[in-house]
Structure 1
C-alpha cells in the first residue's frame, strides 16, 4: 500500500476520540518494530523523520526503508517531516516523497511564522501534501530544537494563524516538553486551553509534541546497567489519553523509543559479554520498540483496530 495523507486518519481520530501515534525513526530496526506493532494492533501509523534522522540515515536510505516497510502491509502509513526548520528542508522531503511535513516557525515572531508557514503550505498543497505548523513553544531539548521555557499557545492567535496560513494541523503548547526531563514537580496539562482552542477551531486536528511518558521501567533498566539518566520524568499516560479523547489527533513519541532501545541494549550487553554479533542486541532493541509502540497504541492513543 502506498504512503497516505493524514487527512482521513485525523478525521477518524477526531470523531472517535482517539489519536494517531507519530513515532520518530532513525534506522531499520526502529521502522521494523513500529510496523510490526501497527500490524499486530491493526493501527494507522505516522512515521516521522527529524532533520537529525535525515542527516544520520540519509534521505535515500529512509525512502528505501519505507519502501520495504510498505511491501507486505495494508496499513495506512504517513511519512512525516518532524520539526522542519525552513522552507528548503520541507521542499526537499516533499519532492522526495513525504506525504506530510511540519514547518516549525515557533521560534520566529508571529508574523514571520505566518509568512514561512504560508510559503510551505502553498508549495505542499499544490502537491497534495499535508502541512503541520506550530504556535507556542515547548521547553526542553530535541536535537536542534531547544527552548528554556514553555510559551503557551494563545487561543485567539491560533485561530488567526490557521486562517491566515491555511495549515492543516497545529502543534500547540499546553504543558508538554521535549526530551526526558519534562517535569520537576507535578505534571499538568492545560486542558482548559486545549478546550478553548478546540471550541474556536471545531473539527480541526491538534498535535502534541514532547509527549513521551519516560517510562520508569526503562530509565531504571538503563541506569542499572551503567546508564546515568537521573531525574527523568515524562507526561503521565492518563493525561495523554485524556488529550487524545479531545481535539488532539496526533501525539509525537520519540524519547520513549530511545529509552526502551537503550535500556534493552545495555542490559543485553551486560548479560551477554561474549556476544559481539550486532544482530543480538539490535534484535532485542527492535522487540523493545515493538512492545513500546504496542503499549502506546493500546493504552495512550486508543487507536487499536482503527486502520
Structure 2
C-alpha cells in the first residue's frame, strides 16, 4: 500500500464512484490522526499542506514527516502540496518526494493558467508525480488572508484547459469557498454536472469544511473525486485540546498530544464515511 500517486488514487475513485478525502495537516499529531482513521476504515487518503501554511510548518520539516507516515501506512496515501503558488515551493515538494503538487494559477487569464500549468506538468514528469490545477475561483484564499470573490467555472474553459494540459486533477468553482462559510453554502450542482459530463478528468472540491453531508454526497455523485478538508480539521483538533484543558487543572504534554491526534482522527473518520471511501482498498 503506502505512498502512491494522486493520479492512481483518483482513477480508482472514479471507477468506484467515491471521493478521497484530502486532509490538510499542520503537525505530527494531525498526520497520525488522519492515518489512524484511514487505516481503521480501510480507506485511501491524501495528506496535504498548502504553501501559505508553511510559515507555521516549514516544508523541510513537515514534508519528510508526511512522507514517512505514508510509507509506513497500511493503506494507500498520496502526499500532496496544496495551492502551490511559487515554482520554488513546488520544486522543493517534488525534490522531497511528494507524489503530487497543485499549481494554482487560477488568478491569471485562461491562456496564462494553461501555460504555467503545462510548465509544472513537465517538471512533475521527472518525478513521476501528479499535478492538480484550478480553473474558476474558489472564494477566499486558503488561509483567509485574501478575500476572493467566488467565480463558477466555465464549462468550455474547463474543457479547453484539460485538452491543452492533460492535468491529472482539476479543482473547479461551484460556489465553494475556503474557511468558515458565512451562512449556508450555496453550491451550483448544475455547473458541476456539466463540467463532469464534458471534461474527462477527476474533479476536486476545495473549501469542503462546513458543507452539509447531503451536499457532499451530491458532489460525489456528480464527479468530485478529491475533497479538501482543512478548516474542519484544525477546528476539531482545537476543540479536542480545549476539552482536555478545561477538564484538567494540570496539563500533561503527552495527554495533550493524544488529544490532538484524537481531534484529527475524529474529523477524518467522519468525512471518510461521508465520502464513501470506507473499505475501498
- What range is the shorter-chain TM-score in? over 0.9
Q: Does residue 1:282 correspond to 2:268, yes or no?
A: no
Superposed displacement of residue 59, structure 1: 2.5
| Preserved CA contact (<8 Å) 1:137 1:147 | no
Q: Given that residues 86 and 116 in structure 1 are in contact (C-alpha distance below 8 angstroms), is that contact kept between their aligned partners in structure 2?
A: no
8 Å CA contact 1:139, 1:146 repeated in 2:
no
What secondary structure does 2:18 align onto?
coil
User: Does the CA-based 8 Å contact 1:105-1:116 persist in structure 2?
Assistant: yes
CA distance in structure 2 between the partners assigned to 1:264 and 1:296 by the alignment:
17
> Is the partner of 2:47 in helix, strand or coil?
strand
State the Cα deviation string for residues 197-253 of structure 1 (Å, max 9, x = none): 111113x2000000112xxxxxxxxxxxxxxxxxxxxx1121011111221100000
Shift of 1:158: 0.4
Contact 2:84 2:101 in 1 (8 A): yes
Match of 1:103 in 2: 103
Query: Which structure 2 residues correspond to residues 77-156 of structure 1 after superposition, within 5 A?
Result: 77-143=77-143, 146-156=146-156
CA distance in structure 2 between the aligned counterparts of 1:71 and 1:156, rounded to whole angstroms = 39
SS in 2 for 1:57: coil
CA drift of 1:297 comes to 0.6
Q: Could you say what secondary structure the match of 1:142 adopts?
A: coil
Counterparts of 2:148 and 2:49, CA distance in 1: 24
Matched, 1:306 2:280: yes
Residues matched between the structures, number: 281
Report deviation, 1:13.
1.3
TM-score, normalised to structure 2, is 0.94
Map 1:127-206 → 2, pairs under 5 A: 127-143=127-143, 146-180=146-180, 182-184=181-183, 186-202=184-200, 204-206=201-203
Q: Deviations over 1:265-306 (max 9, x none)?
A: 12221221222x3222231121121111111111x2100011
Q: How high is the TM-score relative to the length of structure 1?
A: 0.86
Structure 1: stretches of 5+ with no match in the other structure: 214-234
Q: Residue 230 of structure 2 corresponds to which residue in structure 1?
A: 254
Q: Point out the more displaced range, 95-104 or 121-130.
A: 121-130
Contact 1:19 1:245 in 2 (8 A): no
Whether 1:272 and 2:270 are equivalent positions in the alignment is no
Which stretches in structure 2 are left out of the alignment for 5+ residues? none
Kindly provide the CA deviation profile for residues 10-50 of structure 1, in whole angstroms up to 9, marking residues without a partner as x: 12211222100000111110000000000000000100011
Instruction: Report if aligned partners of 2:142, 2:178 keep a CA contact under 8 Å in 1.
Output: yes
Root-mean-square deviation (CA), in Å?
Answer: 1.7
